[in-house]
Amino acid sequence: MIRMFFHDHLLPHFHAEYGEFKAKLTIENGEVIDGKLPRRALRLIQDWTELHKAELMENYHQSQIQGGVLRKIEPLQ
């Protein structure tokens, strides 16, 4: 599961959950900021991040403004 939270003030990032694993990853390059994910899951999320970087950045910017609207991003196929 991928999530973003409103007014979360680190560098542009998102939260990923895979089973009992949780991590924060940068939008810029999918680097893990905090937490841990299994290697396979991390690679899939990094591939997805690369494909949807512009949408992730738009959602991040929307999450920083009052009344911002986050848009659903398609999963990795």
Place of tokens 């949408």: 55
Question: How far apart, in whole angstroms, are the C-alpha atoms of residue 42 and residue 53?
Answer: 16
6-62 pLDDT, tens digit each:
988 889 999 999 999 999 999 999 999 999 999 999 999 999 999 999 999 999 999
For residue 12, the model assigns a pLDDT of 96
For residue 9, the model assigns a pLDDT of 83
Three-state SS string across 5-25, please?
Answer: CCCCCCCCEEEEEECCEEEEE
Between the alpha carbon of residue 17 and those of residues 14, 64, 68, the distances in Å are 10, 22, 23
Whether 75 shows a pLDDT value over 80: the answer reads yes
pLDDT band at 76 (very low <50, low <70, confident <90, very high): confident
Query: For the stretch 17-34, what's the b/e string if a residue is b when 16 or more beta carbons lie within 10 angstroms of its beta carbon?
Result: ebeeeebbbbbeebebee
pTM attached to this predicted model: 0.90
